[in-house]
A and B are shown apart, each in its own frame.
Chain A
């Protein structure tokens, strides 16, 4: 009898388990994804509602259905990157496409919220971008879930299950980011801008002007050196055009810098302290790379040393309201910038300092 049972167990193990085992695993994985997909849907809907309610505060009254329709259009908005088979000039093509996208967003938001001022329109555009990002995350996860279910393919479902803990963390941080843009609270990414602004406040002002779209230039004197400080214009949420500003300074305004310093938030590694400051060489600018490319190109041509100061934080801390430790690090960054200028720029010399990041909640 035992022998028969043992034989049946072996048969089932070798012939039935490989098929049903994977089916069972697939059911567990799909259940896991399904639960998180439900949360993602709630996050998406919550941020959409929050965006819509905020926009409604800035209308003159009347029918709100066209606003909902326009918002839903923006949530499905996409960018097609330029063709890269012939990469020559691709940076400027990408810049052109992104500029069109930014203008489209801002124009639509300004039209939907006619009572909002220019800074509010920029923060609202950021809010719509956050809602769009959450909508995209939800759609992609749903795609893999339904594909895995329809094809009964364990590995398709597994791919998204492996990444889901990170995706959920990112989605939750987008939710918190929406709160920051809604209330106009500075986010962690703005620490570079905050540091540059603090440096300006502690130096002797000479002049100031808008040098590029959404980008402010302060010319200040620091210990006998002329320093050009470039940063996005706040308190609305924008990153400005630091690359274009530095290009104009060097090529159109004929500035001959002895040093270019960029200050930006950088991603910390797991286990590292938030707000830690590090110094290095190169251009500290994230994003699609257009501003970084422009500064690197002119620095190579004019043989200008490039220094970078970064403030470490996690991706979540970068897009959610600024933490106390990050705010405190801005003062240390200003000291590091001053030391760098004193040691690398001769008296009567010139330096460019660029504060990089989103300037929501940080004024001029």
Chain B
């Protein structure tokens, strides 16, 4: 029987996983005025799905989700040698 990393003091016990680094964003389009705004993603959101939320622009309540994404990770510019 194979036994690895199960006992105390094993490496598995001391290695910690890093938390996952992204925050998904939902982009909404107001069906009344056509304005586009974003908010953090909520469970149940999907692209082309309809949601009822107050529009910050016109006060309308019906929105369509047009995109869900995480922001691109920007790489720091490399130093020229």
Known: A142-B2, A183-B41, A235-B49. A361 touches B15 (CB 8 A): no
- A27: min CB distance to chain B, Å: 15
Contact of B68 among A41, A176, A185 (CB under 8 A): A185
Interface residues on B, range: 20 to 34
Per-position contact with A for B51-81: 1 when CB-CB < 8 Å, else 0?
0000000000000000111111000000000
Contact of A184 among B2, B11, B44 (CB under 8 A): B44
Beta-carbon contacts under 8 Å, A226-245 to B? 234-235
- Are A35 and B69 in contact, with the CB atoms below 8 A? no
Interface membership of A311, Cβ < 8 A: no
Known: A35-B11, A38-B10, A183-B24. A321 touches B49 (CB 8 A): no
- Are B22 and A46 in contact, with the CB atoms below 8 A? no
Beta-carbon contacts under 8 Å, B1-46 to A? 2, 4-5, 10-12, 15, 17, 20, 22, 24, 41, 43-46
Please report whether the interface of chain A is mostly helix, strand, loop or mixed according to DSSP. Answer: helix
- Are A235 and B46 in contact, with the CB atoms below 8 A? yes
Cα–Cα, bound, A321→B22 (Å):
9
- B55: min CB distance to chain A, Å: 20
Beta-carbon contacts under 8 Å, A13-66 to B? 34-35, 37-39, 41-43, 46
- B63: min CB distance to chain A, Å: 14
Q: Which of A185, A234, A325 has the most CB of B within 10 A?
A: A185
Known: A38-B5, A39-B17, A179-B20. A274 touches B72 (CB 8 A): yes
Known: A35-B15, A37-B5, A42-B12. A186 touches B20 (CB 8 A): no
Chain B residues with Cβ below 8 Å from A315 are none
- Are A176 and B20 in contact, with the CB atoms below 8 A? yes
Interface membership of A299, Cβ < 8 A: no
- Are A186 and B47 in contact, with the CB atoms below 8 A? yes
Cα–Cα, bound, A325→B5 (Å):
40
Chain B residues with Cβ below 8 Å from A194 are 47
- Are A363 and B72 in contact, with the CB atoms below 8 A? no
- Are A37 and B4 in contact, with the CB atoms below 8 A? yes
- Are B47 and A175 in contact, with the CB atoms below 8 A? no
Contact of B47 among A38, A46, A324, A362 (CB under 8 A): A362
- B27: min CB distance to chain A, Å: 8
- Are A321 and B48 in contact, with the CB atoms below 8 A? no
Known: A41-B12, A325-B72. A185 touches B48 (CB 8 A): no
- B66: min CB distance to chain A, Å: 9
15 A-B Cβ contacts within 8 A?
A35-B11, A39-B17, A145-B4, A146-B2, A146-B4, A183-B41, A184-B43, A184-B45, A194-B47, A321-B24, A321-B68, A321-B70, A363-B46, A363-B47, A364-B48
Residues of A whose CB lies within 8 Å of any CB of B are 34-35, 37-39, 41-43, 46, 142, 145-146, 175-176, 179, 183-186, 194, 197, 201, 234-235, 274, 320-327, 361-364
- Pairs A-B, 9 closest by C-beta atoms: A235-B46, A38-B12, A38-B11, A363-B48, A327-B69, A362-B47, A324-B69, A363-B46, A321-B70
Q: A46-B17, A235-B49, A362-B47 are in contact. List 20 more A-B contacts (CB 8 A).
A: A42-B17, A43-B17, A145-B4, A175-B17, A175-B20, A184-B43, A185-B24, A186-B46, A235-B47, A321-B22, A321-B24, A321-B68, A321-B69, A321-B70, A322-B69, A324-B69, A325-B72, A326-B69, A327-B69, A362-B48
